[in-house]
Amino acid sequence: MKIIELKNIKKSYQLEKIEVPVLHGIDLDIEQGEFVMIMGASGSGKSTLLNILGLLDKIDSGSFKLSGTEVSRFSDDEAAALRNQYLGFIFQQFNLLPKLTARENVALPSLYSKSKNKLFHQNPAKLLDMVGLSQRSTHRPNELSGGQQQRVAIARSLVNNPLIVYADEPTGNLDSTSSKEIINLLKELNEAGITIIMVTHEAELKSYASRVITLRDGLIISDEKAMESGAKVSKREDVDSGKKGGLAFLRLKDYVLEAWRSLTGNKLRSILSIVGVTIGAASLIAMLAVGKGAQNDIEQRVASLGSNILSISPGMPQRGGISSESGSRMRFTNDDINVLKESVEGIQYISGNVAGRVQIVANGKNYNTRLEGVSADYELMRNAVPQKGRFFTKQEDNEKKRVVLVGRTVVENIYGDPDYNPVGDFVRVAWVNFQIIGVLPKKGYSGWRDEDDKITVPLLTALHRLVGTQFFSNIDVEVAPNYDMDSVAASITKRLLFTHRFLPSQTEAVRIRNMAEIQETMTSMSRAFSLLLGSIAFISLLVGGIGIMNIMFVSVTERTKEIGLRKAIGANNSAILFQFIIESVFICCSGGLAGIFMGLFSSLLIGKFAGWTTAVSSFSVVLAFGFSVLIGLIFGVAPAMKASKLTPIDALRHN
């Protein structure tokens, strides 16, 4: 039975701009079970012919049938499937992967087989025992002699029960004893029914072959049948097209294992790549934590100002574009509060405000702090519910009671302990005795000002007992829900202009600030700050990704021969693509996980030593890890594509 049929095979190579013809119309038939030796001088085309027969290279023209199937126009993946199922290869340079043991090297073709059924594969341990290496199965290639390495290569060529074994100068790098052992082993395989096609320049080996073909200048000049082959005929099924090969993702576990072996085989390079991603992911988490902490801090401080607040203060009326004299400015009194409350719809709470600085004396200590005189509604408007004690009532405000609430900073400076409870104690404020009825809630800093360094007293008490005036600086209004703040502000302006006898057109006499708009602006700024920090960190992660791409390109170059070997034993383009992408993603996943822990730790250090508020969100953690994986995919694709597009023969010839 003809297993190989060649008709008018031609092959040329492009050497820069020159086309170099190698094969000039080869016609050849090979029967199943033959032991064929192809001989010839260097440059005769014997290696090129062997590569074409083994589907490692493609013909320019002609017909090539394998077991009756035309294979000359097969795609790369179809040819890879045929090599894996029906062909075995033995190379002059052995081509064993240095990081794998002898047993793992033998089992390598099974990784790319379309079937995981053990009936279709030989047991690697039994094959090593067959070639006399059962005791060396766990040794790596650098721990084996040249003859032993070639035996491993022979065992590898048999693992998928091939119809044909191709041997390219299998004894070329061996001493005479090892050469004899290898050729005898090939002879035994031929007698067991496997077709052997071997390229050699050693004339003394001709006696082992059943047929000797000699090439010169790309043509067959002799075809001698030295002896009738006594080989059995292999009972493998006819060759199919290989189009039903399994998909790469079905072997994901095997590819992950191969990626792990590759990465652990170059530990330093892998660690440095992981460190680059780790720093990027950690930076992203830490910077987003700083930004989120700042945002939370701002939102907390803004919230302390209250919601739906309108802050009303006197403006400067103008006549003909010129500001009026100072005496014409509007001045607010307690009557304005009462009028607005009664006449403007939509006001939920209202409070007058007066401020100044005062000297207080208590516990034998003298301290200067900020004074605030406010109405009773201030408690609910400004989220000023006391931590300890109570707020004053409207009655206490109307009766000008001498009661005071103190901030935590004041408590700390007077009593030495911010957690001390001074409720019930008396304090002298501007030489007037006041009783402490509560401790204000903690507010923190607003810019440069400590919001806890103040005391709060009833508005009328401040006006008549401490400040000595009936006018106050501004009025705060909280708009009731479901009311439009602009409409309420317009009504307030209209009422105040009427009350203080200003013209309706002199709206500049009343200045109203919408605190909700200020809050929105501050929140927007904090978000922009977070985005800026995150963008900077993302750039560092991007740089890490570019580093990984460079590393992977170097890896592809260094492992070109490995890629060629994997393709020769049946790896298709998608299998190579998968493996390199998995390696890249594995690096990024490892770096992302390490970056999460490093980012959390960095956030804690920043909060402790820099005194900044940090807040690590689950979103930032997921974002950092997700970007790490995404960068692994993006920057791993280009090197992986380069690796997958290499042809087997070009990769095997790479130095």
Higher pLDDT, 235 or 260: 260
- 279 with 365, same domain: the answer is no
Which of 243-247, 351-355, 394-398 bottoms out in mean pLDDT, i.e. has the lowest? 243-247
- 602 with 649, same domain: the answer is yes
Does 610 have pLDDT greater than 80?
A: no
How large is the average pLDDT for residues 378-405?
Answer: 92
The answer to whether residue 628 is domain-embedded is yes
Does 246 have pLDDT greater than 60?
A: no
Does 241 have pLDDT greater than 60?
A: no
Q: How many helices (H) and strands (E) does the chain have?
A: 19, 24
- What pLDDT does 550 receive? 79
Q: Are 418 and 412 in contact (CB under 8 A)?
A: yes
Does 460 have pLDDT greater than 90?
A: yes
Which of 243-252, 477-486, 497-506 bottoms out in mean pLDDT, i.e. has the lowest? 243-252
* Cross-strand bridge partners of residue 38: 199, 213
- 223 with 278, same domain: the answer is no
Q: Are 69 and 4 in contact (CB under 8 A)?
A: no
- What pLDDT does 389 receive? 95
Residue 635 CA: distances (Å) to CA of 203, 408, 553, 643: 51, 54, 10, 14
Q: Which residues, in sequence order, are CB contacts of 267 under 8 Å at separation 6+?
A: none
Which structure tokens are listed for 413? 């400076």
Under the banding of pLDDT at 50, 70 and 90, the label for residue 326 is very low
Domain stop point among 441, 476, 511: 476
Each residue's pLDDT tens digit, 486-522: 899 999 999 999 998 888 888 888 988 887 666 666 6
Which of 46-60, 169-183, 524-538, 577-591 bottoms out in mean pLDDT, i.e. has the lowest? 524-538
Domain span including residue 296: 264-301+527-653
How large is the average pLDDT for residues 278-306?
Answer: 74
* CATH number of domain containing 217: 3.40.50.300
Does 15 have pLDDT greater than 60?
A: yes
The answer to whether residue 73 is domain-embedded is yes
Entry field: residues in the chain? 655
- 355 with 297, same domain: the answer is no
Each residue's pLDDT tens digit, 124-143: 889 899 888 889 999 999 99
- 291 with 342, same domain: the answer is no
- What pLDDT does 229 receive? 52
* Cross-strand bridge partners of residue 219: 216
Ramachandran category for residue 363: left, alpha or beta (phi over 0 → left; psi -120 to 50 → alpha) = left
Under the banding of pLDDT at 50, 70 and 90, the label for residue 119 is low
- Total domains in the chain come to 3
- What pLDDT does 92 receive? 84
Q: Are 640 and 580 in contact (CB under 8 A)?
A: yes
How large is the average pLDDT for residues 418-422?
Answer: 92
pTM score, two decimals? 0.63
User: Which of the given ranges, 12-16, 44-48, 238-242, 405-409, has the highest pLDDT on average?
Assistant: 405-409
Residue 629 CA: distances (Å) to CA of 255, 435, 585: 17, 63, 6
CA quadruple 122, 124, 130, 131: dihedral positive or negative? positive
Count of CA atoms in the C-beta half-sphere (13 A) of 341 = 14
Higher pLDDT, 70 or 613: 70
How far is it, in rounded angstroms, from Cα 486 to Cα 346? 11
- What pLDDT does 248 receive? 47
How large is the average pLDDT for residues 105-123?
Answer: 75
The answer to whether residue 75 is domain-embedded is yes
Q: What's the burial of 322, exposed, middle or buried (CB within 10 Å: 0-12/13-18/19+)?
A: exposed
Higher pLDDT, 531 or 337: 337
- What pLDDT does 581 receive? 82
Domain stop point among 476, 507, 542: 476
How large is the average pLDDT for residues 305-315?
Answer: 79
- 126 with 206, same domain: the answer is yes
Under the banding of pLDDT at 50, 70 and 90, the label for residue 251 is low
How large is the average pLDDT for residues 230-242?
Answer: 53
The answer to whether residue 23 is domain-embedded is yes
The answer to whether residue 494 is domain-embedded is no
Does 112 have pLDDT greater than 90?
A: no
Domain stop point among 476, 491, 506: 476
- 289 with 339, same domain: the answer is no
- 74 with 156, same domain: the answer is yes
Q: How many Cβ atoms from other residues are within 10 Å of residue 437's Cβ?
A: 20
Is 438 strand, coil or helix?
strand
- Range list of H helices, 267-402: 267-304, 334-343, 378-381, 394-398
The answer to whether residue 625 is domain-embedded is yes
How large is the average pLDDT for residues 62-81?
Answer: 90
Under the banding of pLDDT at 50, 70 and 90, the label for residue 203 is confident
How large is the average pLDDT for residues 193-200?
Answer: 91
State the average pLDDT for the chain: 84
Helix (H) or strand (E) segment spanning residue 403: strand 403-406
The answer to whether residue 482 is domain-embedded is no
Residue where the block lists tokens 């073909």: 213
Crossing angle of the two packed helices 560-568 and 515-558, in degrees rounded to 10: 70
The answer to whether residue 35 is domain-embedded is yes
Bridge pairing between strands 426-429 and 403-406: unpaired
How large is the average pLDDT for residues 207-231?
Answer: 82
- 220 with 292, same domain: the answer is no
- What pLDDT does 164 receive? 92
DSSP states of 125-156 as a string?
HHHHHHTT-GGGTT--GGGS-HHHHHHHHHHH
* Residue 203 per-residue DSSP state: G
- What pLDDT does 228 receive? 58
Q: How many Cβ atoms from other residues are within 10 Å of residue 327's Cβ?
A: 6
Which structure tokens are listed for 66? 């394998």
Does 243 have pLDDT greater than 70?
A: no
How large is the average pLDDT for residues 394-422?
Answer: 94
Higher pLDDT, 121 or 35: 35
How large is the average pLDDT for residues 442-451?
Answer: 78
- 219 with 156, same domain: the answer is yes
Residue 155 CA: distances (Å) to CA of 127, 178, 327, 439: 5, 15, 107, 86
Under the banding of pLDDT at 50, 70 and 90, the label for residue 484 is confident
- 353 with 293, same domain: the answer is no
- 100 with 53, same domain: the answer is yes
